[in-house]
Chain A
């Protein structure tokens, strides 16, 4: 599904994960000094998961962006 002029499925996956990654990083940063009442919050899972999703989503967004041959 990557014919010329079409948007790749991987682009949709990438853009959603990128958006979620950015939202999670922003949330994770605000939680650095005010962690949520969850188990292992001291490991900052929101921030690290956000970084991972941003990297994954960013790669797929750029690699499969519309118009790229």
Chain B
């Protein structure tokens, strides 16, 4: 995400008041939560006492960072409503699957983390591979969030980059170090409410200005000369028939199955939030509640991007055309795709509302950093330090280690932010790194949970082969652009398709290698698989006494709404 080098607006005193109120409350929450973070269970899993609503909102909010909001609003401008696939098919089925099928295993195994589950199921090799890669990725992502926030603040408000980095990092380090996951969760729920309070005015006023959804679609068709931008499925029959250059198989299998299931069911950053639930039913309900709210997010992300296609005008009244960031940077007066959200915010929001919108963006960036750094400190303390460096320390020692690793993690993030500042391409590579591990990890975890014949060696070698193949395909396409036609199986595929098919291939390779190696190695005794694998684990009753309390019932409601939405915008 990059912006052109010019300032869009400035804050009035009332906007500053709104921003200061937020920072004041966040720091207060850190000190408040400190008194309740005495044991490792308190610090790393918020005492496992969160209700389904809190865990669910935190679960969806941990993924609702400003980097994603601004990036996907820009994608909606660039590719149209196809971007909503990343919020619907790219999230909802996986979130429901986590809640109904996988959560019981994570929860009753009493694991502290996803690498911790791999340790129980596949031994130390798979755990080490997963923990080290995850710790590295989270800390780098935290730095990317930090840098992105600083650039947004510089572009929109003219703030100094170093000031934004240190104030943001210092505040996040303070409240996570003091209160651990509890503090992070409180702030994530707060951020979720703030994002809606700050961003909902854009689509509401935008739709009023455009004259409603039907007139918006008609205006977009006139402005871009095509009606492809407002259909989710009808244009996916061929790579060349839609703005994104993807095919429905990539969306359904690559995004909807592998990437989505990989991210929402095995990325510890989001799973950690659900593990904080206070009982099994809450743990199953949390992702269902999260999915319901996730379905609404396109209203504040995708709709503003579409509205911009219809209503954004230059000073002379002509239609404003946003461009790629490299062009915007070198062309005075041009704006990049990623500037859609700030541009729309400035269009409709005067003093007060503008401050609320900017505060929501800042909260989103800080929440992104906090989510990454709290997950990092948990995985570092439990799955690297506690597993391989100091196995027999006291509980208070691990809490102290969690606090110190938070501070050190933030310092590494700051270094990453400065590194990205000096070499912007690093940002793309860091974001790509996540995709290397997520897809194969889903293959390993799902086989571990569903297939009792999977062995320790199978899990380790499958994960390694899947990850290595993903990195190999990425390097192949980077060094030879024409390789994309082989990975996406079409000469018409565009770069977006590469992510989808690379994930699909790396997942398949992981699963095939895991199965083959497992079949030639010694099975794990069934007794060791209790509470870890489907078929040898009695699933305890979740305590629901009526249909209204059953997570499965609400999952059916959510999936029905999901299908209806896809049909409406077909």
Contact = CB atoms under 8 A, between A and B. Distances in A.
28 contacts: A1-B49, A3-B49, A9-B54, A9-B190, A12-B29, A12-B186, A16-B22, A16-B190, A17-B197, A23-B18, A24-B353, A27-B14, A27-B351, A36-B351, A39-B205, A39-B311, A39-B348, A40-B209, A45-B201, A45-B205, A45-B348, A45-B349, A45-B353, A46-B351, A49-B201, A49-B353, A50-B352, A53-B197
Nearest to B14: A27
Nearest to B36: A6
B208 interface: yes
Contact of B350 (A2, A19, A38, A53): A38
Given A13-B189, A46-B350, 8 more contacts: A9-B54, A9-B186, A16-B21, A16-B22, A23-B21, A27-B352, A40-B209, A40-B348
Interface in A28-67: 28, 31, 35-41, 43, 45-46, 49-50, 53
B32 A7 contact: yes
Interface of B: 14, 17-18, 21-22, 25, 29, 32, 36, 49-51, 54, 182, 185-186, 189-190, 193-194, 197, 201, 205, 208-209, 311, 346-353, 356
A32 to B, nearest CB: 12
Contacts of B186: 9, 12
A13 B353 contact: no
B353 A19 contact: no
A2 B14 CA distance: 33
A16 B25 contact: yes
B57 to A, nearest CB: 9
A13 B193 contact: yes
A12 B133 CA distance: 35
Contact of B14 (A1, A9, A23, A41): A23
Q: 8 tightest CB-CB pairs across the interface, nearest first?
A: A36-B350, A27-B352, A13-B193, A38-B350, A46-B352, A24-B352, A27-B14, A40-B205
Nearest to A27: B352
B349 A38 contact: yes
Contacts of A17: 193, 197
B54 A1 contact: yes
Given A38-B347, A39-B347, A20 B209 contact: no
The interface centre, meaning the residue of A13, A15, A37 with most chain B CB atoms within 10 A of its CB, is A13
Contacts of B49: 1, 3
Nearest to B311: A39
Contact of A31 (B209, B311, B350): B350
The interface centre, meaning the residue of A3, A16, A17, A40 with most chain B CB atoms within 10 A of its CB, is A16
Contacts of A31: 350-351
A22 B185 CA distance: 26
Contacts of B14: 23, 27
A19 to B, nearest CB: 6
A24 B351 CA distance: 9
Contacts of B205: 39-40, 43, 45
**Interface of A (DSSP majority class):** helix
Interface residues of A, number: 31
B201 A20 contact: no
Contacts of B348: 38-40, 45
A23 B352 contact: yes
A45 B197 CA distance: 12
Nearest to A6: B36
A43 B208 contact: yes
Contacts of A20: 18, 21, 197, 356
Contact of A39 (B36, B194, B209): B209
A20 B25 CA distance: 12
A31 to B, nearest CB: 7
Contacts of A38: 346-350
A6 B29 CA distance: 12
Contacts of A35: 350
A60 to B, nearest CB: 9
Contacts of A6: 36
Contact of A9 (B22, B189, B209, B356): B189
Contacts of B352: 23-24, 27-28, 46, 50
Nearest to A60: B193
A12 B190 contact: yes
B300 to A, nearest CB: 14
A1 B347 contact: no
B356 A24 contact: yes
The interface centre, meaning the residue of B18, B22, B182 with most chain A CB atoms within 10 A of its CB, is B18
A29 to B, nearest CB: 11
Contact of B190 (A1, A7, A13): A13
A47 B51 CA distance: 34
Nearest to B276: A1
Contacts of A24: 352-353, 356
A64 B301 CA distance: 30
A12 B22 CA distance: 11
A9 B52 CA distance: 13
A3 B348 CA distance: 42
A23 to B, nearest CB: 6
Contacts of A9: 54, 185-186, 189-190
Contacts of B190: 9, 12-13, 16
A66 B352 CA distance: 28
Contact of A41 (B29, B36, B54, B350): B350
Contacts of B353: 24, 45-46, 49
A58 to B, nearest CB: 14
Nearest to A14: B193
A16 B350 contact: no
A17 to B, nearest CB: 6
Nearest to B345: A38
Contacts of B209: 39-40
A31 B356 CA distance: 16
